Amino acid sequence: MSFLTIDAGTGAIRCMIFDSSGNVISSSYREWAYRPTPEVASGFEFDPNDFWSKICLCIKETISKGKVSSSQINGVGVTSMRHGTVFLAENGKEILACPNIDARGLNEAFELEKILGEKIYQITGKWPSPTFAPSRILWMKRHKPEKFKEIRKILTISDWIIYKLSGRFVAEPSNASSTMLLNCLKLTWYDELINYLGLEADSLPELHSSAECIGEVTQKVANLTGLKKGTPIVTAGADTQAALIGTGAIEEKDITVVAGTTSPVQLVLSKPIIDENFRTWTEVHIMPNRWILESNAGPTGTYYRWFRDNFCELEKIVAKLIRVDDYEIMDKECEFIPPGANDLIAVLSFVMNAHKSSRRPKGAIIGFKPTSDKREIMRAILENISYAIFGNCQQLEEVSGIKVEKLNACGGASKSNIWITTLANVLGKPVSVFRVKEATSLGAAICVAAGLKVYKNISEGVKSMVKQETEISPEPIIHEYYKDKYKVWKSLHDLLWKLAEDGIISTYWK
């Protein structure tokens, strides 16, 4: 049997086909970008027609590369970036499509914070932020009232893709819990907040369980993609929680970092924990009767990609000549730089503080010398990611009372041996990596397999489809060195936050 997955990530669309043992049959990938909204600071949108076209092409290409017929694909699973929002009118036409980086609702987030902040956090596990749906909804109500009146459905990006595939409006709890519109304790929509926003009761889709067959591929979609009409579509969930499934993190105390554009660190819980200091997020797992405590390092891979796009033309040329990934060449160059990056320190990511997320500072790279070269910057960026993950692991331990013994790692950065080694040395704990690095897609495939009853449940699917590749242990001497370096990084991190809070430097969103 084979399962096709669609992962609409922050930086790209990825389609993959897996067999029932978790082996990758084929995959396709297309990067995509967003357009800034000229009339509003920190506003970003995407063209839904362009995105849908890329999704269809990716599906068609993945089927072609896998040399499988449409009848051999037994089901489709959809996952996506969290916090993105698509607003639909009565006819299903997209009114506005925002990615997770859209922060047009900054002032509206401050309003929600003042009026309902603590109550919202206690019920949804989220402190008001401009990147959550309610802030965008209020922004539209205030600034585009005629468009606001047209809204009939508000969807996450995976909900939107399921609608495009099947014509059905459905949601599932893990992605719904990322919207700040779900009561994460009762797993129902948060009616009081929905009423406050001025929405109709049916503006949000029906809630269904994860790993549930909820529709079929339409004839129109079959014509566009090469999928067979009637192929079952299965709910998978939010991309980060799908990655937990893809790394086998399904029991209490399991912990995974999904090192991609951002680096969420998620700890699995058997019951929800709400941080009394409002620093972390509480969310719903794809697994039944499981919750997540998240401390997010924020932008991580996005900085490495920025550096690649702006300063690594030679590396790109070499990579193309020898037919390897650009990042592989960059990682090889980092190996020439010792731990500590010759005292160059990047403070770009952060230890999460949800209560103050709207006031977080812009990043900095400190320690430049006339003799500094770009390899030191690359190494410093990789170390910055590791320091931020370490700080967030410590925070999860503090909030939950659960000791982190080892860490699972997946996502694009987990392909980098130098980064995984650095992470283990900074943490002073083993780091496990997996045969399938794109754990989000694998997690979605496991949901499909469970939804189709190939396996009786997700747990059984994990046992058959998830395979650890290796475990990297820290080197004690290097860990001791990095303990001191982390203290420097954290001091600079805290100073930047204070300067931003005091209004001395500008915040990330302004």
417-452 pLDDT, tens digit each: 999 999 999 999 999 999 999 999 999 999 999 999
* Four-CA torsion 209, 212, 213, 217, nearest 10 degrees: 70
Check pLDDT > 90 for residue 508: no
Length of the chain: 510
Same fold, 2-248+435-469 and 295-410+476-501: yes
Could you confirm whether domain 295-410+476-501 is CATH 3.30.470.10? no
β-pairing, 291-299 vs 345-347, is unpaired
> In whole angstroms, what is the distance from residue 36 CA to residue 303 CA?
18
Q: Which residues contact 391 (CB under 8 A, 6 or more apart)?
A: 297, 350, 351, 486, 490, 493
Q: SS3 for 417?
A: helix
> In whole angstroms, what is the distance from residue 354 CA to residue 358 CA?
8
Which band of pLDDT confidence, cut at 50, 70 and 90, is reported for residue 357?
confident
* Four-CA torsion 106, 109, 111, 116, nearest 10 degrees: -170
Q: Domain coordinates of the chain in residue numbers?
A: 2-248+435-469, 295-410+476-501
Quick one: DSSP state of residue 473?
P
Q: SS3 for 232?
A: strand
Could you report the per-residue pLDDT of 385-397, keeping only the tens digit for each? 999 999 999 999 9
Q: SS3 for 143?
A: helix
Please report the pLDDT score of residue 260 as a whole number. 86
410 contacts 243 by C-beta, under 8 angstroms: yes
Could you report the per-residue pLDDT of 77-118, keeping only the tens digit for each? 999 999 999 999 998 999 999 999 999 999 999 999 999 999
% of the chain surpassing 90 pLDDT? 91
Could you report the per-residue pLDDT of 194-243, keeping only the tens digit for each? 999 999 889 999 999 999 999 999 999 999 999 999 999 999 999 999 99
* Four-CA torsion 489, 492, 494, 499, nearest 10 degrees: -160
> In whole angstroms, what is the distance from residue 398 CA to residue 279 CA?
11
Please report the pLDDT score of residue 510 as a whole number. 67
Please report the pLDDT score of residue 11 as a whole number. 86
Please report the pLDDT score of residue 297 as a whole number. 95
Could you report the per-residue pLDDT of 115-132, keeping only the tens digit for each? 999 999 999 999 999 999
Average pLDDT of 475-485? 97
Longest dimension (CA), the chain: 63
Answer positive or negative: Cα dihedral of 54, 59, 62, 64. Answer: negative
474 contacts 480 by C-beta, under 8 angstroms: no
Which band of pLDDT confidence, cut at 50, 70 and 90, is reported for residue 323?
very high
> In whole angstroms, what is the distance from residue 193 CA to residue 176 CA?
14
Describe the crossing of helices 326-334 and 301-311 by its angle, rounded to 10 degrees. Answer: 100
Average pLDDT of 471-500? 97
Check pLDDT > 90 for residue 402: yes
> In whole angstroms, what is the distance from residue 179 CA to residue 322 CA?
43
Give the helix/strand (H/E) hosting 495: helix 476-501
Check pLDDT > 90 for residue 316: yes
- HEC readout, 247-299: CCCCCCCCEEEECCCEEEEEEEECCCCCCCCCCCEEEECCCCCCEEEEEEEEE
CB count within 10 Å of CB 383 equals: 27
> In whole angstroms, what is the distance from residue 59 CA to residue 165 CA?
12
286 contacts 458 by C-beta, under 8 angstroms: yes
Q: Which residues contact 51 (CB under 8 A, 6 or more apart)?
A: 8, 13, 32, 97
Q: Which of 401, 405, 411, 420 is nearest to 471 (CA)?
A: 420
> In whole angstroms, what is the distance from residue 492 CA to residue 347 CA?
7
Q: Within its chain, how far is the Cα of 370 from the centroid?
A: 37
DSSP 290-337: -EEEEEEEEESHHHHHHHHHHH-HHHHHHHHHHT--HHHHHHHHHTTS
> In whole angstroms, what is the distance from residue 138 CA to residue 120 CA?
15
Q: SS3 for 135?
A: helix
Please report the pLDDT score of residue 81 as a whole number. 94
Burial class (CB in 10 A: 0-12, 13-18, 19+), 104: buried
Q: Which residues contact 264 (CB under 8 A, 6 or more apart)?
A: 240, 257, 258, 294, 295, 296, 297
Please report the pLDDT score of residue 201 as a whole number. 82
Q: SS3 for 386?
A: helix
CATH topology for 2-248+435-469 is Nucleotidyltransferase; domain 5 (3.30.420)
